[in-house]
């Protein structure tokens, strides 16, 4: 990716300092570790270029996501995650629970959950190798290189995903979605 990470582009309102608690958080932590070990989300100083989330409740678009400026590792704490409980795309506002701000790509995750009720987990990474493999398998790719964290990018991804569970973000990375975290993670290894 050509641009430097400079933080979230939305206004973020912390609704509670309570750590997100959920029976599926442990599994998300293990997928974060797998992502790190397989270099799916290459590290930069102070973080990892990727973000992982799962829907916390059926029939809602709330989700637990890795926090902004957070390194994926085998030693992640509950405080390295945020629960997103409200998003307004038009006002560019995110409400969340937890100590840290949610990932800069929160609006992308939100718009995917909103448009795809069948999707309960979303993993995003920047591995060039995975992008290359996905291209060979002819998975769809977004048309333009767009700035990270923007609504424009999020909408482009949603449109490209439509009938797929895996897309390439042009000159940026990949997004894998599915019914369960294991389905989303395993399909990256099956490329
Ligand atoms: Zn990204």
Distance 186 CA to ligand 1 centre (A): 20
User: What are the sequence ranges of the domains in the chain?
Assistant: 11-189
Distance 50 CA to ligand 1 centre (A): 6
Q: Which residues contact 177 (CB under 8 A, 6 or more apart)?
A: 112, 116, 119, 121, 122, 123, 161, 165, 166, 184
Transcribe 103-132 into DSSP letters: -TTHHHHHHHHHH-TT--EEEEE--HHHHH
**Per-residue pLDDT, 89:** 92
Distance 61 CA to ligand 1 centre (A): 20
User: 150 and 172 in contact (C-beta within 8 Å)?
Assistant: no
pLDDT in tens, 109-149: 999 999 999 999 999 999 999 999 999 998 999 988 988 88
pLDDT in tens, 148-170: 888 899 999 999 998 899 999 99
Q: Which pair of structure tokens corresponds to residue 111?
A: 């718009």
* Interatomic CA distance for residues 123 and 142, integer angstroms: 17
Distance 59 CA to ligand 1 centre (A): 26
Distance 124 CA to ligand 1 centre (A): 7
pTM of the model: 0.94
Residues with CB under 5 A from ligand 1 (ion): 148, 173
Distance 21 CA to ligand 1 centre (A): 25
CATH homologous superfamily, domain 11-189: Class II aldolase/adducin N-terminal domain (3.40.225.10)
Q: Radius of gyration over alpha carbons of the chain, in Å?
A: 15
Distance 136 CA to ligand 1 centre (A): 21
For the chain, give the percent of residues with pLDDT over 70.
97
pLDDT in tens, 79-89: 999 999 999 99
**Per-residue pLDDT, 6:** 63
**Per-residue pLDDT, 141:** 94
Distance 117 CA to ligand 1 centre (A): 22
């Amino acid at each position: 990716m050509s641009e430097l990470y400079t933080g979230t582009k939305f206004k973020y309102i912390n609704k509670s300092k309570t750590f997100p608690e959920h029976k599926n958080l442990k599994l998300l932590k293990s997928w974060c570790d797998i992502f790190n070990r397989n270099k799916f989300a290459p590290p930069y100083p102070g973080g990892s270029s990727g973000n992982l989330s799962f829907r916390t409740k059926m029939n809602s678009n709330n989700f637990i996501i890795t926090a902004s400026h957070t390194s994926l590792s085998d030693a992640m704490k509950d405080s390295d995650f945020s629960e997103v409980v409200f998003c307004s795309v038009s006002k560019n506002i995110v409400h969340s629970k937890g100590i840290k701000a949610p990932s800069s790509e929160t609006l992308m995750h939100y718009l995917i959950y909103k448009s795809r009720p069948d999707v309960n987990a979303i993993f995003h990474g920047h591995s060039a190798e995975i992008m290359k493999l996905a291209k060979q398998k002819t998975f769809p790719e977004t048309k333009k290189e767009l700035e990270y964290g923007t609504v424009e990018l999020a909408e482009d991804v949603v449109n490209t995903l439509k009938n797929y569970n895996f897309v390439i973000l042009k000159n940026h990375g990949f997004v894998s979605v599915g019914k369960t975290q294991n389905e989303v993670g395993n399909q990256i290894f099956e490329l």
